[in-house]
Amino acid sequence: MGGFLRDNAMRAQSFELLASIKFARSEAVKRRTRVVMCGTSDPTAATPSCGGTRWTAGWLVFESGDTNNTYQPATDTLLRVGEPAPGLINIRTNSDGNLEFNGDGTTNEGGSTARFALCDDRGAALGRQIDVPMIGRPKLIYGRAVTISCTSPS
C-alpha cells in the first residue's frame, strides 16, 4: 500500500509540473512575450525569488518585463506559483535553473533540451522525467529513461 501511495504522489507531482510548463508556454504564445519558470526556495514569501536547479520547494511562472531571469514585482507579472513537492520527492533540472519560453512557444535553451527529473528515495527506476526540447512541447518520460540524478549536489 505504501508503494501505491508514493507512486500516486509521484504521478500527481509530475502532472502538476507538466501542467505548469504547458501553462507557461501557452501564456508566452498568448501574450506574445517571454515567460519564465524558475525554482524558488519559498513560493509563499511576500516577494518570492528565483534560485537554483532544485525545484523541490516550488516554482514561479512569470511574464518577464525585462531581460533578466529573476522575478521582480516592479517589472514582472507573476502568473502561477507551484507548491512544494510532497514527501520525499525531489525535483531537479539540467538547465541553469530557469525555463524560458519565447512569444512563439520555443525555449531559450540554446538548442538543447531542458530536463526535469522527479525522483524519491527509490531512485531513478521509479522516477519520472519531463523533457522540453527547443520547440517547447514537453514530454513526460517514465522510469528507466530518467537521465538526471536527483541526488547530485546543486
Tens digits of residue pLDDT in 81-92: 998 888 788 888
Tell me the sheet residues that pair with 128.
Answer: 118, 142
Per the structure, the complete domain to which residue 30 belongs is given by: 2-145
Please name which of 70, 74, 62 lies closest in space to residue 20, comparing C-alpha atoms. 62
Q: Report if residue 151 sits inside a domain.
A: no
- pLDDT, residue 121, reads 75
User: Residue 153 pLDDT more than 50?
Assistant: no
Return the pLDDT at 92: 85
Does residue 133 form part of some domain?
yes
Distances (CA, A) of 150 to 30, 34, 73: 33, 28, 31
How many Cα atoms are found within 13 Å in the side-chain-facing hemisphere of 90?
Answer: 18
Average pLDDT over the chain, rounded to an integer: 85
Residue 22 maps to a domain: yes
Q: Is residue 47 part of a domain?
A: yes
pLDDT the model gives residue 152 = 44
User: Is residue 127 classed exposed, middle or buried when 0-12, 13-18 and 19+ CB atoms within 10 A define those classes?
Assistant: buried
9 or 96, which is more confident? 9
Q: How many domains does the chain have?
A: 1
CA distances to 25, 47, 89 from 130, in Å: 14, 28, 15
Would you say residue 106 lies in a domain? yes
In a domain, 152, yes or no: no
> Residues 11-61: pLDDT tens digits?
899 999 999 999 999 999 999 999 999 999 888 888 888 886 678 899 999
Angle at 127 (CA atoms; ends 125, 129), nearest 5 degrees? 120
Domain membership flag for residue 49: yes
Residue 150 within a domain: no
